[in-house]
Chain A
Amino acid sequence: MDFISPWIHTTEKCNLKCHYCYVKGNAIMTKEVYNALGKLLVESPKSNKHLRFAGGEPLLVFDAWEWFARDMLKHKGVTIEVLTNLRAPTPHFWRFAGLENVNVSVSVDNGKTVKVLDHLLSERLRMLRNPWLMTTVTNENINSLDVLAAFVGMNNHGWAITTDYFEKTTPDWETLAEAMLGVVSVLKEFNYDFTKVSFNNFSAKSGFSGCRAGNEMFSVGCDGTIYKCQTLIGNGKGIGSVFKGYKRTECPIKPECKVCSIYGLCKGWCQLYYKTPNPICNVIKLFASEVIKEVRATHAHPSTKSKEMRHAE
């Protein structure tokens, strides 16, 4: 695979307290770490370098990494993604977000207490070019997922839906299945482009890699330690550092995943935490089946797409 994609843990600080979050601490990535990471990336033979600026909340420390991001954008094949809750944007950030090869992905759960979809957030989303939404489905927001789906459908946003990595807040699979079938039903009402939605890494989109943690994808902690996955930062053993490089460490795919009917489409979701057999796989299958039907139908009859959608494309 001709890409490299570091998760850059700009800070451990956050302005929210999501009940399912695994990040702890207050550290901020230093200039030395950015410099070493930049060198590592520039020297990489990979043609595509997709930098994911995350945290914590990366916009709390935007000033600490903007220079690095702008510097990296001068190199060929570099694209940037900012994973943010968009609750603390600065005027500088809006200018940065408008740059070519910068994409912003926004966490919106529409839960009762965190990452609520409200007027302010909706206005901010309008200011971004083609933002993507990221939603963690938990017991807290499962009943408001349909309204969020209407918002996504109405705006034809890209949408990555996941359950939480540790399955502590995940609803039972039948409740989740009902909600996800509801999501499909709502999106259909808006003639949604179903290649733009994913659930636990199932996606009918082209150019889908599945999780490549420890390989092309790795995570850089605030101190420069490289981990397989962002969930291991501060907790697990590193596989290297930005100063010395890293040893590629495969997350082996489970044998039962390899023979599954959706393996080519979800690539085993999360090989670190996902236990198998897992009833949530039933939900992925149900969702995948519906989404594939929609993608096929759109492909067979492209004229069924709404005028608005064609305009958006």
Chain B
Amino acid sequence: MPSDCQCSNACDCQTIVKTKVLNNKEATRKIARLEEEVALLKYENDRLKRASKRRLPKKELVNKLKKMLDEI
């Protein structure tokens, strides 16, 4: 992980690791709470509701990117 503020993947840190995010009961409860909070945020805010459903056009973005990178 690049980082001003995190330790890298070279380090053996005690934290909620990926497997725990997926399997650990406490983490699952936490994530359920997070999902509830996020659902409420979206429910209360039309802008977010729209943004979370929006699919950005991949082709258009790639073309924009190519054009940008071709400019020397």
Residues of A within 8 A of B (CB): 1-3, 5, 7, 47-48, 50, 52, 54, 79, 81, 83, 101, 103, 105, 117-120, 122, 132-134, 146-147, 149-151, 154, 158, 160, 162, 174, 177-178, 181-182, 185-186, 189-190, 195, 198, 201, 203-213, 216-217, 230, 261-262, 264-265, 267, 269-270, 282, 285-286, 288-290, 292, 295-296, 299
Contacts and interface: CB of A to CB of B under 8 A. Distances in A.
15 contacts: A50-B11, A79-B8, A118-B71, A147-B68, A160-B3, A174-B47, A185-B55, A186-B56, A198-B1, A198-B6, A205-B18, A207-B1, A208-B1, A267-B15, A285-B37
A164 B51 CA distance: 23
B8 A81 contact: yes
A7 B71 CA distance: 35
A295 B22 contact: yes
Nearest to A79: B10
Q: Interface residues of B toward A: which range?
A: 35 or more
Given A3-B10, A81-B2, A105-B2, A206 B69 contact: no
Interface string B1-43: 1111111111111111111011000010011011101100110
Contacts of A186: 56, 58, 61
A1 B6 contact: no
Contacts of A81: 2-3, 8
A50 B10 contact: yes
B7 A151 contact: no
Contact of A205 (B1, B12, B38, B52): B1
A3 B13 contact: yes
Given A1-B14, A185-B54, A261-B34, A203 B6 contact: yes
Given A149-B61, A212-B7, A261-B33, 13 more contacts: A5-B7, A50-B10, A79-B10, A81-B2, A150-B61, A162-B4, A177-B47, A190-B58, A198-B1, A201-B6, A208-B17, A216-B7, A261-B30
Contacts of A267: 15
A5 B8 contact: yes
Contacts of A213: 5
B47 to A, nearest CB: 6
A186 B8 CA distance: 25
Contact of B17 (A54, A206, A262): A206
B22 to A, nearest CB: 5
B1 A117 contact: no
B25 to A, nearest CB: 13
